[in-house]
Structure 1
């Protein structure tokens, strides 16, 4: 859940109505506005977070600012009466530059599992951090190609498959570069044939980060 976005309160209510869902904090640095005021390096001239393109080159931000902002986003989540199952980040921004050091500091502080999207060396240096054995970014490949998915399950015990299912509205259409594929993912995930195909693969359990 992105706690700096307009739909935060609605998302929190849905999470409470569906307690079996695993809901984590989706830390934000590249979309919308920060929760805290006074940042000098995280925002543009209008006070909005810098776009992802800024971080794709060499960049320099105040990591103390980043720590305070991300901690505020986690605390906002907790203030909504929710317990996060894990931490990850929007646009995988936790894996850019030295951002991962702040991310790991918060992971240890809140003792939460994480998405497996950082360099393998990071997890070797921090073996106590909990994550899945494998992270699959391509839902189109992993869920449509059952042979591929079967091979993945043979190799790994726990797998996270990233998805972005959604109904489109003006907010998404004007603020996201990832639009119509969300509808395709929604259709795929709610297709009864997907469940049937997964059941045919054998001993597969739908889990959350609570089970890691």
Structure 2
């Protein structure tokens, strides 16, 4: 039976996002999430993580949203001390790899200081797969011995990396008939489907370019037909189980 990780990005963004993710797990098919340690809802997310041990929680390394954990950055922030927006990284840009390593390490350590054990690493806005940034991401994954999201081309020189066979950007694939879903993943035994379930609040509506679709994603993950279909044809797992299998 194929193994499926359904992962919600943006845990810690806000309380409404946090509650949506937890409901998608406890009442639906969500198995995993990744937490933004620098965001206002992070402490609330840690509290929920302590209460819901079956939810796999990784770290959503952040470079394009909110403020950094560390201060005195030169190349990572704008004049107000906020992380630069995603558009900054869509053409030519300069980034100090040592600054990035220090910031992302601080984000990981912030998570570890809570006593929670992360299941894997990914990044907000897939910023990790940019050429100047990917080496830092992989260095930290190896340092902390964590699996990663398969959103970049894996090359032999990267060495051994624990990840899924396939990464799905579009969660609406889960609405398709089971024959279509299985055909889409016929060459993969392990799959991660990314999603962004949430309830809506003002901070999300103002701060995110992807807001109202989160309600539809949450409804999909909670739908009993989706739950029956996936549980019948997939083994729903987290990155924790994936890493144990490859150990």
TM-score normalised by structure 1 residue count: 0.95
2:65 to 12, 15, 31: 31
Residues of 2 paired with 1:171 and 1:100: CA distance? 30
In the alignment, which residue of structure 2 is the partner of 1:50?
84
In the alignment, which residue of structure 2 is the partner of 1:188?
220
What is the CA distance between 1:183 and its match in structure 2? 0.2
SS at match of 1:155: coil
What is the CA distance between 1:120 and its match in structure 2? 3.2
Residues of 2 paired with 1:198 and 1:137: CA distance? 17
Residues of 2 paired with 1:199 and 1:20: CA distance? 16
SS at match of 1:24: strand
SS at match of 1:193: helix
Deviations 1:111-133 (A, max 9, x none): 00000011233xx3224110000
Q: Trace 1:67-146 onto structure 2 (pairs within 5 A).
A: 67-121=101-155, 124-140=156-172, 142-146=173-177
SS at match of 2:57: coil
Higher relative contact order (CA 8 A, sep 6+): 2
For these two proteins, the number of residue pairs brought into alignment is 207
SS at match of 1:162: strand
TM-score normalised by structure 2 residue count: 0.81
Moved over 4 A (4+): none
In the alignment, which residue of structure 2 is the partner of 1:210?
240
Residues of 2 paired with 1:182 and 1:132: CA distance? 24
What is the CA distance between 1:199 and its match in structure 2? 4.0
SS at match of 1:6: coil
Residues of 2 paired with 1:92 and 1:113: CA distance? 15
In the alignment, which residue of structure 2 is the partner of 1:166?
198
Where in structure 1 are there 5+ consecutive unaligned residues? Answer: none
CA-based RMSD: 1.1
